[in-house]
Each structure stands twice: as structure tokens, then as C-alpha cells.
Structure 1
Amino acid sequence: MTEQNDNQPQQPQQPAQPQQPPQGGQPQNGILNKIQELGQTNVPDMDQSNIHCITIVGQIEGHTQLPPQNKTTKYEHIIPQLVAAEQNPKIEGLLLILNTVGGDVEAGLAIAEMISSMSKPTVTLVLGGGHSIGVPIAVSADHSYIAETATMTIHPVRLTGLVIGVPQTFEYLDKMQERVISFVTKNSGIEEEKFKELMLSKGNLTRDIGTNVVGTDAVSYGLINEVGGIGPALQKLNQLISDNKPAQKDLMQ
């Protein structure tokens, strides 16, 4: 065992080096926040793409927070993205991809109204399903696509499967249903009577009323413009962007 020399000069302590974020991207906590808040690992870099893509998946969450095990799309996350896409000059078109079971009626209509009022070209693509209040969102764009195997459920507005005993509640739901019908028929090629017929059809859905519409049927009814996937949707959006540029130049002059 050796003795230490007390007269030996002590080595000066090196200052602690600041921790550097991982190379090749953002800090790990930033990526986790984007996954939790927007369901995306990386927000598209607008310097590289003139198209912004928004996904609407799971259940559309409105004023009431859903249980954590539910996969949701929060309208307070979608609306700021729509505003940012509208005012960002580098974004020339918007692509919305839907695979939703529906959800809050007012939140869904709010999203659909914002999409339909955008000045930039918009295209929607239904993959898997665009059910319930997802129908107005699907038809809100300038052009809509649906996958051949995708489905759309059209049914009346309702709160639960229970009988509604309060007349005021029934009147409120009836007015809300009229808003949905008016928006869908205004923004698609389907006739109002046909849409109501699909909505109030009996025997199509088990122990319920409504209709489950498959991809090709949605096009034949005039609800959706075309059957197709991501390729045709992007081609159409780029075509709309090209057609929109002369109109934008005329407005600037």
C-alpha cells in the first residue's frame, strides 16, 4: 500500500462539457413531443416540399378529452396546421389522409369548414375508412379520392344508442344533422335526397339505421370524385397547384 504525497500539486478540475444533442436531427425530447402531440416523427420541411400532409386518424376528439387508450385526432392540433398552411407562401397545396371512425360532430365540421374555405388547392384521400363525421371532411377538399377497399359509414347524428327523451335535445341533434347534410351535398356531387336515403336506410347496419358505402359505391353516388391511392392523389394535387398559379399571379397584379 503506497502513501500519497500531500505536497503533490493537485490537478485543476476540467469544466463540465455541455451535452450536445444527437447528431443528424433534433433532440430526442423534441421528437417525442411531436409523436405525442401530432402523431408525426418529423414535421415536413417546407424548404423541400411545397405540399403539406395532414393525417386524420382514429377518433376525432372535440371538447371532451377521450381516454388515453383511444387513438385520437385532436381538432386543436389540426386547426393551427391548417392556418399555418394557408398563410405560409412556401406551401402550395394540402393533402389530407383519412382513416377515421368519426367522433365529435362540431369538431369534425369545424375542420371540414376550414378545409373547404382554403384558397390553396386541397385533396383528400380516404384509406381504410372515413366514417360518420369523417364524411364531411372527406368531401371538403377540391378533389377527393377513396381506396377501392375503403368504406364510409353514413348514419344520423346521435349521442348514444339510448332513446332521447328530451325534445330540446332531439331538436338540437336534428339541426346539427341538417348542417351535416347541407355541407356534404354542397361540397360533393351527391343529391340531398340520395344522401338522406343512405343516412336513414334500415337493415343495412345491424340493429341500426344507416349505410356502409364501399369505395366504388361512394364514387357512383357522387360522394367521392375518384377511386385511387396516394399516387393519383398527389398527381391531382400537383395538377391543381399548376392550374392555380396563373390565378394567384392575377390576384397579385
Structure 2
Amino acid sequence: MPESVPMGQEQPSVAENIEKLGQTSPITDESNVYCLTIVGQIEGHLVLPPQNKTTKYEHIIPQLVAAEQSERIEGVLIILNTVGGDVEAGLAIAEMIASLSKPTVTLVLGGGHSIGVPIAVASNYSFIAESATMTIHPIRLNGLVIGVPQSFEYLEKMQERVTRFITAHSRISEETLKQLMLTTGELARDIGTTVVGRDAVDYGLIDEIGGLGQAMRKMYELIARDRETRPRGVLQ
């Protein structure tokens, strides 16, 4: 017979968690894969309005550090559905993911737009859903911009950083990437290109079309390979 739980100490049911929090209780005690979600708009130097769905830069970095330090975690799955956001914050997150010593897999669901593109390609292997999209366009500046050469030089250098990162972590060529960035007529009032799932793979941005099941299978494959090459005693 199962032990009874004292009055007032009942654990909330899954249904209650969904109703109150909008989510189920995360299953972390048995999993060796850490799931990191990047959704909405990436918040960096400026605090976004409260009605915006945001992924805060200062929240993501400690999670990545904790996953890297944990002996139990053997892989990190990054799930994206983002419109982009702060360029420096997004690029810093991408650099952190790329520098992890543990296997990483990214999965683009819905969208991986703007500065979400470097994050999507930062992992060891990337997937995109058939219906997901990625918007590729030049860096934009919001707010007051001082019209001096230094401002445009800074913008150009930042664009070079993003372009260099994307081409270094995917199969797309710099020429093709710049061509997609500077396309006119596809985006309303702007330049750039929106690529859908299959196109992202054909261009070499993303490795494969797939969903959660395929991403998890690839993750376990990378973990198994990592166990074979990792020195004994590093991960038990």
C-alpha cells in the first residue's frame, strides 16, 4: 500500500501545475540532458516592456555555466522560437553555446529570426521544423543614432562579427549569406530574406529537418560518442 501524505502536504498534480503555472513540473532528477529554451525577444542592455515575451540574457548565461559544471549533465538541448533582439546579448549567448565542452543540439520551432540565427547554428548539430522560419537581414539600430562615421564603422564591425560567426558554425558560404541579407522585395519595408525549414537546410544554415524526437536521438548519439572519447573519470 502506498504511504499516505499528511494533510496540507499534498504534492500538486500535473494538471494543477499546468493550470497555475502554465507548465508541468520539469523532470530533471533522472535526465542527463539539460533543455534550454530561448523564446520571444532576447533582452540584453535594455529592459523590454512587460507585455513582451522575453528571454533575459542574464538568466541564460548562468544556466549554461551550471550545465557545463554539472557532472550529471552530459548534453544541452537548445530550443528556439525567437524573433531576435539585442545583437550583443544574442551573439554572446551563441558564443557560450559554441564553447561548451558537452554535446549540444539546437532545434528551431516556429522561428529563429535575426540574432536568433547565430544561436541556432552555434551547436554541434542543428534541426529545424518543416514549418519553422528564419529571417536573415542586416543589423538594425533603434533609437537615436549619431550620424558620424564612427557609428557606421561600429555597425559594420558588428555585422562582420555576426556574419563570421554564422559562416564559421554552418555550411553556408559568406557570399550566399550576404546575398540573403541584402535581398530586396521579400520583406515589407526592409531588406533581407525569410527562409522556411527546407530552404534553411538547402542553404546550409541548418543541418537537418526534424522535430523533438530526431533532436533527442541525435543528442544521445553525440553523448555516446563523447563518452568514448572523454578521459575516464571525467564523467561518471
When normalised by structure 1's length, the TM-score is 0.83
- Deviation per CA, 1:28-56: give whole Å up to 9, x if none: xxx8xxx6xxx9664542x3100110110
C-alpha distance in structure 1 between counterparts of 2:95 and 2:23, whole Å: 24
Percent identity reads 67
When normalised by structure 2's length, the TM-score is 0.88
Work out whether 1:94 is the aligned partner of 2:76.
Answer: yes
**Secondary structure of 2:95's aligned partner:** helix
1:23 offset after TM fit, Å? 2.4
C-alpha distance in structure 2 between counterparts of 1:186 and 1:98, whole Å: 20
One-letter code of the match for 2:61?
I
Deviates more, 1:198-207 or 1:71-80: 198-207
C-alpha distance in structure 2 between counterparts of 1:143 and 1:176, whole Å: 25
Equivalent residue for 1:234? 216
One-letter code of the match for 1:145?
F
- Deviation per CA, 1:108-160: give whole Å up to 9, x if none: 01100000000100000000000000000000000000001100000000113
Aligned residues: CA RMSD: 2.5
**Which is greater in Rg?**
1
**Secondary structure of 1:99's aligned partner:** strand
**Secondary structure of 1:156's aligned partner:** coil
Work out whether 1:155 is the aligned partner of 2:142.
Answer: no
Matches within 5 A, 1:36-115: 42-45=25-28, 47-115=29-97
Equivalent residue for 1:4? none
**Secondary structure of 2:92's aligned partner:** helix
One-letter code of the match for 2:138?
P
**Secondary structure of 2:187's aligned partner:** coil
Structure 1 spans left out of the alignment, 5+ residues: 1-19, 26-30
Equivalent residue for 1:24? 11
Contact kept in structure 2, 1:108 and 1:133, CA below 8 Å: yes
Q: 1:162 to 1:77 in 2, by over 3 A?
A: closer
Contact kept in structure 2, 1:44 and 1:52, CA below 8 Å: no
1:24 offset after TM fit, Å? 2.0
Q: 1:107 to 1:235 in 2, by over 3 A?
A: same
C-alpha distance in structure 1 between counterparts of 2:47 and 2:71, whole Å: 34
Moved over 6 A (4+): 161-164
Contact kept in structure 1, 2:145 and 2:151, CA below 8 Å: no
Work out whether 1:190 is the aligned partner of 2:209.
Answer: no
C-alpha distance in structure 2 between counterparts of 1:251 and 1:142, whole Å: 23
Equivalent residue for 2:183? 201
Contact kept in structure 2, 1:105 and 1:133, CA below 8 Å: yes
1:171 offset after TM fit, Å? 1.2
Higher RCO (CA-CA < 8 Å; seq separation 6+): 2
